C-alpha cells in the first residue's frame, strides 16, 4: 500500500494543501514581447460570475486571461493586484464593499472574493479592475435571512453543455428571465470532443483533445467560458454549482475509471477538481485538497426552501454489472453499495430531521426515479443513475418518508432529456406511496437538436407509470416557488444547431404544498 508521507492530508484545512509555485522564475507569457509596458489586452475575456449566496455574503469571481487558450491564459507568471467593488446600484454610485486581492498563476489568476457584510435578499452589482481596465458588471442577489417567510423564489436549473453539439441559446433566454438563483447540476465541460461539431472551431484540440493534465482542464474551461450567452447567464444571477462525470471523465465513480489504475486516476481527478474550483464561483471551503473536494453543501432561502446540493460522483460505489443499461439484480440491490457515500447520506438525512423549510430540495446530478428503458415485461435500467444504487435510493426516499420531510423535490440533469416523475417508495408498485416530485432538466446543448418525443422517450412514458412528462429537446427549467406551490416551466429550444433558435415553454408542471408528487401537467 502506498502511504502519504505527510500529515496534513488528514489534519488541516484546504489552504495548507496548496503547493506553491512562487519560486518559479518569471517567464514571458504567450504574448511574448511584453516587457513591462502596460498590458492593454482585455484580461476579462471569460466574464464574471457570482455564487453560493448567503444572507450576508456572496462569492464574486473572475479570471484574468488576456489570451485565454494560451498557457497561463496569456498572463505573465507573476501575481497581479485585482480591485473589486460591490454596489447597491448598477452605476456604482453606492459602493458598499470594495477591496483588492492578488491573483496568481497557481490558481490561473482566478479571483474568488467571499464578499461579507451584505444585506439579505437584495440585488448587488459587482465589477473588477486591473491596471485601470474594468470588467463587465455582474448582478447578484443575496439569500434571505433564515427566519424569512419568503413569498416567492425564482430559480433556474441547467446541465450538460457539450460545446460542439450546439449553441447556448437556452442561456440567453435564462438571462432574460429574472431568476434569483441558478443551479448548475453537472457536465459544465466535456473532457473530450468530436471534431465535426455544430460550431466553428469544433475540431480544435482545445475542444476535442482528452483533458488529463491541469493545463488541459484549465484550457477546456477557458474554451467553454468564452461563450457569450454563458457569460451573460453568469453575470445575471448567482449560481450554485455541482459537478457530474464529464468535469473529470465519462462515468467515473470515486477512484474507479477504466482509463487508469486508481493511483493514476487520483492525479487526473485532482487536476480536474483544481481547474473546476478555479473556474467556478465557489468558496474556499470547496477548494480541493488534491483529489478530494467538499462539494456537497446546504443553502437556505429563508423558511421557503432548503437546497441540499449533492455530490453523487466522489463517494459512489463503482457502477453495477459493468455499467451500461442492465436488468436490476442482486448487485443493484446490494445494501453495501452507495451513490452518496455514508457520510453524505447521514448529512442529508440529519439535515432533513432538522429542516424547517417548506420545500426540501435535492439539487444533484442524475435521476432518482426508475427509468425502465425497455418495452414489455423485461426491465432494463441505467446503471449510472440511482437505478444502479437501489439500496441508496431506498434509504434516502425511505428516510425522507420516515422523517415526514415536507415537500420533497429533486432537481437533476445528466439524461439529456426532460423527465418529470413522482418519487415512489417502491417504483415497482404503482400503488406505493409517493414521497416527492422529481424534475430532471434536459441538456443545454448535449445531444444536438433532439425532437419533441423520440422513441426512447415514448418507451419511458409507457414503461414508467410514475413518469408524468418527457421531452427530448434542449433547454433548461425555470421554476417559481411560493409557499403554496412549485411550478416548473420547461423551456425548450427549437434548434441548437443554429444560432438564435427560438425558446418556448413546452410544459408547466405543478406541485402543491402538502401533496407529494406532481399534481398537474399543463401542456
Partner 1 sequence: MNIPRQTVIAAGTLVAAALLGSSSVPKATTSDVAVSVAPEQLSVVGLPCFPGMLNLTMTNTGSQDRYADLTLDPTGPLQLSRTLFSSWLPALDPDQPVSAPVEVRVPRNAKPGSYKIGVEVDRQRVTVPVTVNPLPPKGPGDNLTLGEQATASSTHGNFTLCGAVDGDKDSEHWDTLTGWNDGTRAAFPDTYDVALSTPATINRVELYTLDSAKYPARVNGLRDWDVQVKAGDTWQTVDQVRGNTVGHVTSTFAPVQADAVRILCLDGNDHTYSRIVELEVYGS
Phi, psi of 66 (to 5 degrees): -65, -25
**Closer of 99 and 335 to partner 1 (Cβ):** 99
**Closer of 6 and 37 to partner 1 (Cβ):** 6
**Closer of 287 and 339 to partner 1 (Cβ):** 287
**Closer of 123 and 266 to partner 1 (Cβ):** 266
Q: Do residues 183 and 155 make contact, with C-beta atoms less than 8 angstroms apart?
A: yes
Q: And the C-alpha cell for 21?
A: 509555485
Q: And the C-alpha cell for 36?
A: 513591462
**Closer of 113 and 409 to partner 1 (Cβ):** 113
Q: Closest distance between partner 1 and the C-beta of residue 44, in Å?
A: 15
Rg of the chain taking only CA atoms, in angstroms: 22
Q: Closest distance between partner 1 and the C-beta of residue 186, in Å?
A: 19
Q: Closest distance between partner 1 and the C-beta of residue 66, in Å?
A: 16
**Closer of 193 and 470 to partner 1 (Cβ):** 193
Q: And the C-alpha cell for 128?
A: 473588477
Q: Closest distance between partner 1 and the C-beta of residue 72, in Å?
A: 7
From residue 58, give the alpha-carbon distance in Å to each of 90, 119, 136, 239, 283: 17, 10, 18, 10, 9
CA–CA gap between residue 314 and residue 449 (Å, rounded): 31
**Closer of 86 and 467 to partner 1 (Cβ):** 86
Q: Closest distance between partner 1 and the C-beta of residue 62, in Å?
A: 10
Other CB atoms closer than 10 Å to residue 295's CB: what's the count? 22
**Closer of 13 and 335 to partner 1 (Cβ):** 13
Which stretches of 77-190 are DSSP H helices?
169-176
Q: Closest distance between partner 1 and the C-beta of residue 275, in Å?
A: 9
Distance in Å from the first CA to the final CA of the chain:
58
- Shortest CA distance to 66 belongs to which of 58, 74, 78, 77? 74
> Beta strand pairing status for 133-134 and 325-326?
unpaired
Q: Do residues 492 and 473 make contact, with C-beta atoms less than 8 angstroms apart?
A: yes
Q: Closest distance between partner 1 and the C-beta of residue 211, in Å?
A: 10
**Closer of 270 and 423 to partner 1 (Cβ):** 270
- CA pseudo-torsion sign 454, 460, 462, 463: positive
Q: Closest distance between partner 1 and the C-beta of residue 13, in Å?
A: 5
DSSP one-letter string for 468-510? EEEEEEEEEEEEEE-SSEEEEEEEEES-SSSTT--EEEEEEEE
Residue whose C-alpha cell is 453543455: 161
Q: Closest distance between partner 1 and the C-beta of residue 56, in Å?
A: 9
Element (H, E) at 72: none
**Closer of 228 and 285 to partner 1 (Cβ):** 285
How far is C-alpha 14 from the chain's CA centre?
21
Q: Closest distance between partner 1 and the C-beta of residue 5, in Å?
A: 5
Half-sphere exposure of 32 (CA within 13 A, CB side): 4
Q: Do residues 35 and 192 make contact, with C-beta atoms less than 8 angstroms apart?
A: no
Q: Closest distance between partner 1 and the C-beta of residue 20, in Å?
A: 5
**Closer of 274 and 466 to partner 1 (Cβ):** 274
Q: Which residues pair with 307 in a beta bridge?
A: 299, 361
Amino acid at each position: 500500500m502506498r502511504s502519504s508521507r505527510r500529515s496534513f492530508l488528514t489534519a488541516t484545512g484546504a489552504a495548507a494543501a496548496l503547493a506553491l509555485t512562487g519560486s518559479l522564475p518569471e517567464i514571458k507569457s504567450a504574448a511574448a514581447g511584453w516587457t513591462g509596458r502596460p498590458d492593454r489586452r482585455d484580461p476579462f475575456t471569460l466574464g464574471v460570475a457570482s455564487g453560493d449566496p448567503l444572507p450576508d455574503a456572496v462569492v464574486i469571481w473572475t479570471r484574468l486571461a488576456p489570451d485565454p487558450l494560451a498557457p497561463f491564459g496569456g498572463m505573465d507568471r507573476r501575481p497581479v493586484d485585482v480591485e473589486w467593488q460591490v454596489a447597491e446600484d448598477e452605476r456604482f454610485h453606492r459602493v458598499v464593499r470594495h477591496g483588492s486581492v492578488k491573483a496568481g498563476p497557481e490558481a490561473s489568476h482566478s479571483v474568488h472574493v467571499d464578499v461579507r457584510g451584505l444585506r439579505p435578499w437584495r440585488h448587488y452589482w459587482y465589477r473588477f479592475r486591473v491596471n485601470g481596465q474594468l470588467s463587465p458588471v455582474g448582478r447578484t442577489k443575496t439569500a434571505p435571512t433564515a427566519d424569512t417567510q419568503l413569498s416567492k423564489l425564482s430559480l433556474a436549473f441547467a446541465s450538460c453543455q457539450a460545446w460542439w453539439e450546439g449553441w447556448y441559446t437556452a442561456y440567453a433566454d435564462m438571462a432574460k428571465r429574472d431568476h434569483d438563483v441558478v443551479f448548475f447540476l453537472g457536465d459544465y465541460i466535456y473532457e473530450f470532443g468530436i471534431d465535426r461539431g455544430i460550431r466553428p472551431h469544433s475540431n480544435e484540440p482545445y475542444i476535442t483533445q482528452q483533458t488529463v493534465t491541469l493545463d488541459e482542464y484549465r484550457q477546456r474551461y477557458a474554451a467553454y467560458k468564452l461563450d457569450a450567452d454563458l457569460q451573460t447567464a453568469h453575470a445575471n444571477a448567482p449560481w450554485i454549482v455541482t459537478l457530474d462525470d464529464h468535469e473529470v471523465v465519462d462515468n467515473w465513480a470515486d477512484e474507479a475509471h477504466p482509463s487508469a489504475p486508481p493511483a493514476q486516476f487520483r492525479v487526473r481527478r485532482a487536476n480536474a477538481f483544481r481547474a473546476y474550483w478555479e473556474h467556478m464561483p465557489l468558496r474556499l471551503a470547496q477548494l480541493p485538497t488534491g483529489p478530494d473536494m467538499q462539494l456537497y453543501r446546504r443553502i437556505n432561502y429563508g423558511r421557503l426552501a432548503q437546497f441540499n446540493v449533492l455530490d453523487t460522483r466522489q463517494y459512489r460505489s463503482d457502477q453495477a454489472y459493468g455499467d451500461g443499461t442492465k436488468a436490476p439484480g442482486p448487485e443493484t440491490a446490494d445494501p453495501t453499495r452507495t451513490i452518496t457515500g455514508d457520510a453524505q447520506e447521514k448529512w442529508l438525512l440529519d439535515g432533513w430531521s432538522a429542516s424547517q423549510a417548506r420545500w426540501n430540495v435535492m439539487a444533484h446530478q442524475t435521476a432518482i426515479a426508475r427509468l425502465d428503458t425497455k418495452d414489455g415485461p423485461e426491465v432494463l435500467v441505467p446503471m449510472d443513475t440511482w437505478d444502479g444504487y437501489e439500496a441508496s435510493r431506498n434509504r434516502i426516499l425511505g428516510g425522507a418518508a420516515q422523517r415526514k420531510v415536507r415537500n420533497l423535490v429533486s432537481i437533476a440533469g445528466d439524461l439529456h432529456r426532460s423527465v418529470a416523475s413522482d418519487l415512489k417508495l417502491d417504483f415497482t408498485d404503482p400503488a406505493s406511496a409517493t414521497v416527492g416530485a422529481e424534475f430532471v432538466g434536459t441538456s443545454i446543448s448535449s445531444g444536438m437538436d433532439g425532437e419533441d418525443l423520440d422513441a426512447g422517450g415514448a418507451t419511458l412514458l409507457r414503461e414508467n407509470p410514475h413518469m408524468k412528462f418527457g421531452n427530448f429537446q434542449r433547454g433548461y427549467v425555470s421554476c417559481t416557488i411560493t409557499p403554496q406551490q412549485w411550478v416548473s416551466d420547461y423551456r425548450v429550444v427549437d434548434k441548437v444547431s443554429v444560432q438564435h433558435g427560438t425558446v418556448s415553454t413546452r410544459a408547466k408542471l405543478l406541485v402543491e404544498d402538502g401533496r407529494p408528487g406532481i399534481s398537474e401537467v399543463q401542456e
